[in-house]
Amino acid sequence: MAEEHVHDHSEHAAIEHDDMPSYYAILELSIRELLIERGLITADEVRHQIEVLDSRSPTLGAKLVARAWTDPKFKERLLANGNSASEEMGISIYDDTQFTVLENTDSVHNLIVCTLCSCYPRPVLGLPPDWYKSKQYRSRAVREPRAVLAEFGTHIADKVEVRVNDSTSNLRYLVLPVRPKGTEHYTEAQLAKLVTRDTMIGVSVPHA
């Protein structure tokens, strides 16, 4: 029985260790409590912002792309002003950044990166994938974009220009991919299912 007790105790100890907050979690909590204490923000505002962040995913960006594929006028507005076009569809760019949509064509393929950190269009894509934040992707996407694309299984013809776009703290990009051939009779909802996070970053292309 004694051995069983020791075994159980060690398991609980491991779980408790895993649940210990990190340095950054403690720092965030301390700053948050200080801001609330000084009346600069409220706990309700913090809760609401967390709910907004949790509600965002690539399905929102896919809706924008599908609408642009089926509505030429909306596409014009989206390319001219991503912020206001998103608002038309009830998608708020809550972080007050400039949201710019870049169109892929038969002659240009856009790739998005943030060379300094991990700036990303979270309002329409949610949280960035780990590889997007990695130092390797951030440096190699600029130096050798075609090699990086090939590692994602994306091979761009030599005649097509690969254009690397560097996001910043106040400017976020989204790629409008080329609509796949053979989708002329697809509904907007069907088209949206073809659009993935990676196609809107530019490391992949959609297929029917």
Query: pLDDT tens for residues 120-165?
Result: 999 999 999 999 999 999 999 999 999 999 999 999 999 999 999 9
118 is in an annotated binding site: yes
Q: Which residue has the higher pLDDT, 48 or 84?
A: 84
Q: Which of 10, 30, 92, 117 is catalytic?
A: 117
Which residue is associated with the tokens 């909306």?
Answer: 74
- 10 marked ligand binding residue: no
- Residue 51's pLDDT band, with cuts at 50, 70 and 90, is low
In the chain, % of residues over pLDDT 90: 70
Q: Is 114 annotated as a binding residue?
A: yes
Does the predicted TM-score (pTM) go above 0.95? no
pLDDT, one tens digit per residue, over 183-199 is: 999 999 999 999 999 99
Q: Is 86 a catalytic residue?
A: no
pLDDT at 50: 59
Burial class (CB in 10 A: 0-12, 13-18, 19+), 8: exposed
Active site residue 55: no
pLDDT of residue 94: 86
Assess whether 92 carries a catalytic annotation. no
Query: Does 55 show up as a binding residue in the annotation?
Result: no
Question: DSSP letters along 116-181, please?
Answer: SS----HHHH-SPPHHHHSHHHHHHHHH-HHHHHHHTT----TTSEEEEEE-BTTEEEEEEPPPPT
Residue 114 catalytic? yes
